[in-house]
Structure 1
């Protein structure tokens, strides 16, 4: 497994190195600009990995999803609105990708989960900030985020990778919003936001890439 990652997926390995190491240095004495680039490299290399492993429009879509994610990771350190705008770009590309790969048949329970996921997530996000002036903007962003996760869950990609990965992304963002409310003085978001987010992105990109390669009858060494 390690040899396969090193030899055939070097960008995946680089992504893991940057993402894991960032978690241990994000509160250290690393210069600001360097730390921002370090953070962006984690998901940035996932974008390169997707672009190299999958050809065609779908490959560009999933690479774009990761590319916007990497941009959002960096911009959010400078301006929350700019970072959110970049993530919205990624969510829209993901929705397009998942819409192109709808599941032929979806069980009622799975459809119900996808339907309920949107209003429940939006309501939780809207209720989190103590400053109620921030609630509408957070709810608007979360609507697009939750729609992305619902589309991932009902797509033909693996629910155990892509679907769960998208839900981890949602949970990570809810922890970010909790910093504006009841967890504003807690270290819980510090320990959970980045791992949940990165693992979610990792599961999404590897799940999508693997499924697309299988459908194109390309081996996954």
Structure 2
């Protein structure tokens, strides 16, 4: 246990260091390339954390999801479309990943939440841009992020960590779309987008890794399995 903690701690601490500090330096005079790398480092270290802590294909997949998120963070600073493509690729990979870990029994309210989350989120996203020519593209992107959140919510990972983290990620994106319309002059998006996004990703990565490692430990301790 002690060696496992020592193995993961540097990457989680580095992720928190870069993820939290970026919030305070993002409006500074740090040269652009350094600031972009700083922005991507928070989630990039979550990718490394997943690769190191899960010595199996699942770790590579979770690491890939986080790596695509980090890539999207950085590319967005140059090209919004390509950044969105990177995030969509990560969302689609996450949907495929969560489909392998379905929760067999769902309460009615939880099932209803997941069912309604996608169409309501897409409708909200579509309605937000003042430039209506952008509305369809925004709605199409939101289909991937809301689908990811719904799949995370109905997976067998902790709903209060992985599911909630995915919903925070979704809310951060809806605030980005709101900045294109009704909240264009508000400070609310500037205050909340990054912390909702980063801590959402942090909750997702750590929640998945801890659940799968716990299951691996239980399987290795089971005499039937080895």
Report the Cα distance in structure 2 between the residues aligned to 1:156 and 1:20, rounded to whole angstroms: 29
1:121, 1:142 within 8 Å by CA — same for their partners in 2?
Answer: yes
Report the Cα distance in structure 2 between the residues aligned to 1:127 and 1:30, rounded to whole angstroms: 35
Report the CA distance shift for 1:175/1:216 in structure 2 as closer, same or farther (over 3 A): same
Aligned-residue offset at 1:7 = 6.1
Match of 1:20 in 2: 20
Report the Cα distance in structure 2 between the residues aligned to 1:51 and 1:146, rounded to whole angstroms: 25
Structure 2: give runs of 5+ residues left out of the alignment. 219-226
Structure 1: give runs of 5+ residues left out of the alignment. none
Match of 2:181 in 1: 181
Counterparts of residues 36-55 of structure 1 (less than 5 Å): 36-55=36-55
Counterparts of residues 155-174 of structure 1 (less than 5 Å): 155-174=155-174
Q: Deviations over 1:188-212 (max 9, x none)?
A: 1111000000010000000000000
Q: Deviations over 1:144-191 (max 9, x none)?
A: 110000000000000000000000000000011111101111111111
SS in 2 for 1:182: coil
Q: Which has the larger radius of gyration?
A: 2
SS in 1 for 2:217: coil
Q: Deviations over 1:108-147 (max 9, x none)?
A: 2111100000000000000000000000000000001100
2:130, 2:180 within 8 Å by CA — same for their partners in 1?
Answer: yes
Say yes or no: does 1:30 pair with 2:20: no
Query: So what's the TM-score if we normalise by structure 2?
Result: 0.93
Say yes or no: does 1:144 pair with 2:144: yes
Report the Cα distance in structure 2 between the residues aligned to 1:5 and 1:90, rounded to whole angstroms: 27
Aligned-residue offset at 1:8 = 3.9
2:18, 2:38 within 8 Å by CA — same for their partners in 1?
Answer: yes
Counterparts of residues 1-221 of structure 1 (less than 5 Å): 8-217=8-217
> Please, what is the CA RMSD of the aligned residues?
1.6
1:5, 1:12 within 8 Å by CA — same for their partners in 2?
Answer: no
SS in 2 for 1:9: helix
Report the Cα distance in structure 1 between the residues aligned to 2:5 and 2:209, rounded to whole angstroms: 14
2:51, 2:60 within 8 Å by CA — same for their partners in 1?
Answer: yes
1:5, 1:13 within 8 Å by CA — same for their partners in 2?
Answer: no
1:102, 1:156 within 8 Å by CA — same for their partners in 2?
Answer: yes
Report the Cα distance in structure 1 between the residues aligned to 2:53 and 2:70, rounded to whole angstroms: 18
Aligned-residue offset at 1:5 = 6.2
Query: So what's the TM-score if we normalise by structure 1?
Result: 0.95
SS in 2 for 1:155: coil
